Amino acid sequence: MTAPQVVVHRDAGLAARAAAARLITKIVDAQAARGLASVVLTGGRNGNGLLAALAEAPARDAVDWSRLDLWWGDERFLPAGHPERNETQARQALLDAVPVDPARVRPMPAADGPHGGGVEEAAEEYAAELAAAARPENHAAVPSFDVVLLGVGPDAHVASLFPELPAVRETERTVVGVRGAPKPPPTRVSLTLPAIRAGREVWLLAAGEDKAKAVTIALSGAGEVQAPAAGAYGRRRTLWLLDRTAAAGLPRDLYPPASL
């Protein structure tokens, strides 16, 4: 388990732009070292804010978009193209504006796909796709993602791993179907904590006053069942990217003044 590093920016806009710049650097470095880079995308206000900032970043063309594998940490189990799907929002925010290789963009199955309403079958399909992309040197039945992006919910959920629900307790499967999520829509597909922890780096994004309690709880020693964000960490680095309002409940010795 890597100890979390906390970076706090003045406001949500600056946090998104700084995270986008950081992600560009990470992707370019990974492509230079291995030829390819792999990123897990997240949805929600902060995840989509990062993608929009990335689309507007002057340095975005430093990325070789044709050599970037894109996965998702979770998805709302809705028909393809539905405006609430993370995939749909990611395409609108960034992917439609950059020359990605369609074969390297791996969205989670939609509700109107071959599995129909079978969210468990959809989860199994995505797990199989991840396993097929894994290599012997990887640390789980998933690729060693360069960066796993995760938005932090007001209840400290990440991906679609909600407090106390069975999915957050999963220790073997890499992808699960989620039913009865407290945040609509109730049916979802999600990576599990073991899959998230296979990432080289895990970045947790939180901005806004409504995230302050969750951030404080997750970084104060809470258990992962009660605060799933507390159980999300990378093999090499765990980075919390916050704005001042989300960090309001943290002790100042947890992050350097320079990060403001």
Per DSSP, helices labelled H in 94-169 are: 119-133
Query: What backbone torsions phi and psi does residue 70 show, to the nearest 5 degrees?
Result: -120, 125
The predicted structure's pLDDT at residue 26: 98
H-run or E-run covering 137: none
The predicted structure's pLDDT at residue 258: 60
Q: Give the burial class of 157: count Cβ atoms within 10 A of its Cβ; 0-12 exposed, 13-18 middle, 19 or more buried.
A: buried
pLDDT interval class at 252 (50, 70, 90): confident
Collapsing DSSP to helix, strand or coil, 53 comes out as helix
The predicted structure's pLDDT at residue 220: 94
Q: Is the peptide bond before 143 cis (omega within 30 degrees of 0)?
A: no
Residue 172, Cβ neighbours under 10 Å: how many?
Answer: 7
Over residues 89-96, the mean pLDDT reads: 98
Q: Rounded to whole angstroms, how far apart are CA atoms 90 and 70?
A: 11
Q: What is the per-residue DSSP string for 175-235?
A: EEEE-S-SSSSS-EEEE-HHHHTTSSEEEEEE-SGGGHHHHHHHTTT--TTT-GGGG---S
Six token digits for residue 164: 């106390």
The predicted structure's pLDDT at residue 257: 67
The predicted structure's pLDDT at residue 260: 64
Q: Rounded to whole angstroms, how far apart are CA atoms 152 and 156?
A: 6
Q: Rounded to whole angstroms, how far apart are CA atoms 118 and 135?
A: 28
Over residues 90-115, the mean pLDDT reads: 94
Judge whether 5 and 259 are in contact, CB under 8 Å. Answer: no
The vertex-39 CA angle with 81 and 167, nearest 5°, equals 70
Q: What is the mean pLDDT of the chain?
A: 95
Amino acid at residue number 194: P
The predicted structure's pLDDT at residue 254: 76
Judge whether 245 and 46 are in contact, CB under 8 Å. Answer: no
Judge whether 215 and 194 are in contact, CB under 8 Å. Answer: no
The single residue listed with the structure tokens 């599995």 is 115
pLDDT digits (tens, 9 = 90+) for 108-166: 999 998 766 699 999 999 999 999 999 877 777 999 999 999 999 999 999 999 999 99
Six token digits for residue 71: 């996965």
Collapsing DSSP to helix, strand or coil, 156 comes out as coil
Domain that holds residue 18: 4-259
Query: What CATH number is attached to the domain comprising 14?
Result: 3.40.50.1360
pLDDT digits (tens, 9 = 90+) for 38-75: 999 999 999 999 999 999 999 999 999 999 999 999 99
Task: Label each residue of 31-89 as H, E or C.
Answer: HHHHCCEEEEECCHHHHHHHHHHHHHCHHHHHCCHHHEEEEECEEECCCCCCCCCHHHH
Six token digits for residue 88: 């749909």
pLDDT digits (tens, 9 = 90+) for 170-221: 999 999 999 999 999 999 999 999 999 999 999 999 999 999 999 999 999 9
* Number of domains within the chain: 1
Judge whether 202 and 150 are in contact, CB under 8 Å. Answer: yes
Strand-by-strand arrangement of the 188-191 sheet = 74-76, 188-191, 175-178
Six token digits for residue 186: 């109730």
